[in-house]
Amino acid sequence: MNLLILGGTIFLGRHLVEAARAAGHTITLFNRGQHNPDLFPGVEKLRGDRKTAEGLEALRGRTFDAVIDTCGDVPRIVRASAELLAGSVGHYTFVSSVSAYADFKTPNRDENAPMARTNDPTVEEVTGETYGPLKVLCEEVAEAALPGRVFCVRAGLIVGPHDPTDRFTYWPARIDRVGDALAPGDPSSRVQFIDVRDLAAWMVRAAEVGRTGVYNATGPDYPLTMGEVLGVCCHESDSGANLVWANETFLASQNVEPWSQMPLWVPSSDPDMAGFSAVNCNKAIRDGLTFRPLNDTIRDTLDWAKKRPADHVWRAGVTPAREAELLAAWRTARRV
């Protein structure tokens, strides 16, 4: 298969390249060359900025069996790429998000759940409020340009080596340090995420067979809890760290932000998020999405994190100093 990847050097993109190479496909990357430009020597690299009118010229006149769009957030930009490629590719994969759904008030939302909408379809600033609605519009313009040829992947939280967000990496790295580790809320609370390598391999297989339609893609294929995740982190690090579980009332009183300061944590007290970590992925699982053991994801993520610079600035989680303050406050609260 002659495969074009829009992006290809950051996180999911680089793992897609690895999966496609392992499967023996010919790969062409199209991006601006601003991130990891020397990655994948020997792979054809086309340069351009899809945000500009002339930025797609390197793709004009080229033909590919399939394209995977890893970095489309604005419908105008996705439309330009999809329309240009419509006559020269057989299959178009668009990476969307479960954030495309209107809400998460109930568990088990499948691909037919109501979608997020914006009152201003011309908006192009990507924020927490516009991200989901913009993804919906991107899905629609891709399908309009290539009707019946689009594979739309509504991914959940993607985790694993080379994740720039730290939204999962925080936990294996934090628990690898000794001492008490602040853990959020109820250990039995549900969590969902997918190893980037599992997602990438499934997407490449889908492109091979020309799979189309909309699919939720997160995991695993069994109910997973926060306690289980952090327990495996403890096992894989062998650090002897002690988990200290602080309840939601305390964390709220200390202005601890769910998800960003305590990654993976979504308060059970928030009725609007009751289904956030219980998205229905049965369709994808029936059509070949598989999941590696959690131990492998945590161990490989930790091994990669240890190789980063010592002065790495974390994008998620709490600092050691802030964690120490919270642990002290929690111990005081428990004694009152």
Give span(s): CATH 3.40.50.720, the chain: 2-155
Written out in words, the top-level CATH class of the domain with range 2-155 is alpha beta
Say whether pLDDT at 336 is over 70. Answer: no
Looking at residue 286, what is its pLDDT?
Answer: 98
pLDDT digits (tens, 9 = 90+) for 56-89: 999 999 999 999 999 999 999 999 999 999 999 9
Tell me the mean pLDDT in the region 264-276: 94
Confidence bin at 182 (pLDDT 50/70/90): very high
Say whether pLDDT at 206 is over 90. Answer: yes
pTM here is: 0.97
In the block, tokens 């391999």 appear at 201
CB contact set of 258 (below 8 Å; sequence gap of 6+): 184, 251, 265, 266, 267, 270
Tell me the mean pLDDT in the region 210-225: 98
